[in-house]
Amino acid sequence: RPDDWHLHVRDGARLSSVVPHSAAWCARAIVMPNTTPPITDTQRATAYRDRIQEAVPDGNQRFEPLMTLYLTDKTPVEEIAKAKEAGVAAVKLYPAGATTNSDNGVKDVLGRIPILEEMARVNMPLCVHGEVVDQDVDIFDREKVFIDKILQPLLERLPNLKVIMEHITTKDAAEFVAQAPERVAATITPQHLLLNRNDILVGGIKPHHYCLPILKRETHRQALLAAIASGSPKFFLGTDSAPHPKGAKESSCGCAGIYSAHAAVPLYAMAFEEAGALDKLEAFASFNGPAFYNRERNQDRITLVRKKWRVPESYDFGDEEVVVPLWAGKELEWAIEEGIQE
């Protein structure tokens, strides 16, 4: 059974709309902390975990949310050991202003060395949104500049810190991670494997294909396909499934985020089939992530079958709203058989 090593489930009434989609196929998920308000300390993380677990449908209690802390410029060093003791799985680095609800993020990453040293000491991984936010850097170049300007110096300064470069989008990132030490890994989303920037812009603006990091050129998509086809254990499943209400996406200043939890494994199967690497899908989805996070593989299984089905135009999202999913209204070639095998 797979895990999702990068997931957004929001909060409040919306939890019961989206958590069941993930719980139907994945056993564990690294849950992102950029809620409103953000999950900035251990007490908030454990309370959020409880709310997520309450949203898991009856009869499916095998879904485990793995919590993260939102790193800020004010996070105290002593919070790391406290979080580790409470079972928090990782700390998330958002450069301030890089994505949804990231305004409380870190303004000077290299200025937070003491807390990063403490993370290395207690073996707490750092999940990184790898983009700079400098106004003079083109949005399509943010990832590469982050690697050169921030990530490489950070890794050199902290030789024992485990780092996950989240939702990589470029050839530069794929090559960097592949060549980096074993303590560096990356998650890859279905949208960045299946879509390129034409899918946002050609034939009219497609707001439901807008995410951050933004979709890139086809050359970069091909590099990501090559990365998953390589079978490298450094790459693993992280959907970055990020639901927003339809109206918040279809607006004059639309939100960044693509919802994919409803069909994540079938979407990944399409990408792996395109890459000629279906035999590598199981490791990407179920083996590589647990190995990096030092966790046991799941013992139960799901069954992926070749079966056409049409994705709904929308799903309920909270009390009165809907979310438009990835591949809305279109056919998928793969499906998960109902039920989880022990």
Greatest CA separation found in the chain?
A: 53
Structure tokens at 256: 């960044």
Q: Label residues 283-321 b or e (16+ Cβ within 10 Å = b).
A: bbbbbbbbebbeeeebeeebebeeeeeebeeebebbeeb
Q: How far apart are CA 123 and CA 240, in angstroms?
A: 23
Instruction: Give me Rg for the CA atoms of the chain.
Output: 19
Neighbours of 25 (CB within 10 A): 22
* CA angle, 233 then 26 then 50, to 5°: 120
Across the strands, what pairs with 4?
29
Ordered DSSP codes for 249-272: HSSTTPPP-BB-TTSHHHHHHHHH
Tokens 């607006």 appear where?
251
- Which amino acid makes up residue 131? E
Whether the CB-CB separation of 9 and 22 falls below 8 Å is answered with yes
Backbone angles phi, psi at 151, to 5 degrees: -70, -45
- Helix, strand, coil % over all residues of the chain, rounded to 5: 40, 20, 45
Q: Which of 148, 240, 316, 319 is catalytic?
A: 240
Q: How far apart are CA 278 and CA 229, in angstroms?
A: 8
316 as an active site residue: the answer is no
Whether the CB-CB separation of 200 and 254 falls below 8 Å is answered with no
Ordered DSSP codes for 199-255: HHHTTS--GGG--SSPP--HHHHHHHHHHHHTT-TTEEE---B----HHHHSSTTPP
Active-site residue set: 240
